[in-house]
Structure 1
Amino acid sequence: MKPLGNWRHICVDAQRMFLEQTPWHVPWMTKVLPQLAEVSERHASQTIFTRFMPPQHPADAAGSWRDYYQKWWMMTGEHLPKELLELAPVLQNLVPPARLFDKATYSPWVDGRLFSQLRQEGVETVVVTGGETDMCVLATVLGAIDLGFSVTVLRDAIYSGADETHDAAIDLLSERFSVQLKLVKTEEFLSAIPRREP
């Protein structure tokens, strides 16, 4: 791997509501959780955990999100236990120095807060892990590219609830965004990037 310059690791939505038995449970998450934990632990001070945060009530959501949460009413704040919004247990003790970033949409870039933080810190590259590949990870990656970041995706540290669309998203990213994006395995990334001393 080439040097990344000033980089941050964005671990997308590694939350209990996707790990545990809810209507949004993603069985595959358990397979990549060891990679998420290893990258996040080795580089905790450079890690940002995004969390997907549903509204309290469907009526609190805007536009088509209202329709979405009328379908998924059981995942809104009035029904979902608050502890299921938290990170997977193996990741919780990494905050701090890792940071949390809560968002209400698939993309973390919509309201400009995350971009503003990273721009102030002089970040050039984002390293993306988490889930789901074909939804929030894809939105995170495409937004980062649009904003001018170089992007590295750890292909064995992302997951989806659907193998077919996961594979399609990987193909899309590797074939259409090869100048702005690199797909590498976690082992290659960790071998190339030394652990930062606290």
Structure 2
Amino acid sequence: MNAERWIHICVDMQRMFNEETPWQVDWMATISDQVVEVASRFPDRTIFTRFVPPHSPAEMPGMWRPYYEKWPMMTATRLDPGLINLLPPLQRLVPPARVLDKRTYSPWLSGKLESLLAHQDIGTVVVTGGETDVCVLATALGAIDLGYRVILLKDAVCSSVDQTHNAALDLLGNRFSVQLEIATTDEWLAQARA
């Protein structure tokens, strides 16, 4: 792997998804060791995305308003602000790891991530985090659309719904096999270089 051309995008490994909230993802605790291993080995090549809810549904456009009307307890006015933070073992890696906040499932919409990667001449993104069938899927598909090679670490991604987690892995691995590779953390670490 060309040492100058890859970056690790760790998707939404935040306390609000790991702790007891309506959005808790039980599997997050199971994958956290693998995610911490990758990010700890390469903190200077890691970008953590954080899903940051608005203060109120009215701040969001279109169908995001009814989404947050369904989940008012997860808006910033009602949610403990500390729950937006990364899991503590990951938070300790910032800096040199970087944090990119986003308001939608995809980290690509603002253009900040694409600009950052273009300035570093990145060609490959390694994806970990949650949820496989929501924000991880949006991250991977956006990267594919922008021409990046994507490596998804299947034992370092999770969802709150096993069936759609498995379906997302099947979809990505089968339909996008030219642009996306699925590997285990150990397989990828065995050939990764800083």
Other-structure match for 1:52: 51
Other-structure match for 1:18: 17
Superposed displacement of residue 157, structure 1 = 0.2
Question: 1:65 is matched by which residue type in structure 2?
Answer: W
Supply the distance in 2 between the matched residues of 1:170 and 1:40 (Cα, whole angstroms). 22
Supply the distance in 1 between the matched residues of 2:152 and 2:117 (Cα, whole angstroms). 18
Question: 1:149 is matched by which residue type in structure 2?
Answer: Y
Other-structure match for 2:169: 170
Q: Deviations over 1:94-132 (max 9, x none)?
A: 000000000000000012111011111110000000000
Supply the distance in 2 between the matched residues of 1:41 and 1:111 (Cα, whole angstroms). 27
Matches for 1:32-181 after TM superposition, within 5 Å: 32-181=31-180
Supply the distance in 1 between the matched residues of 2:50 and 2:133 (Cα, whole angstroms). 16
Q: Structure 1: which 5+ runs fail to align?
A: none
Supply the distance in 1 between the matched residues of 2:84 and 2:99 (Cα, whole angstroms). 12
Q: Deviations over 1:2-59 (max 9, x none)?
A: 5575100000000000000000001110000000000000000000000000001111
Supply the distance in 2 between the matched residues of 1:121 and 1:48 (Cα, whole angstroms). 13
TM-score when normalising by structure 2: 0.98
Supply the distance in 2 between the matched residues of 1:90 and 1:190 (Cα, whole angstroms). 19
CA contact (8 A) 1:107 1:136 kept: yes
Q: Structure 2: which 5+ runs fail to align?
A: none
Length, aligned pairs only: 194
Runs of 4+ in 1 over 3 A off after TM superposition: 2-5
Identity of aligned residues (%): 56
Supply the distance in 2 between the matched residues of 1:117 and 1:93 (Cα, whole angstroms). 22
Supply the distance in 2 between the matched residues of 1:97 and 1:72 (Cα, whole angstroms). 33
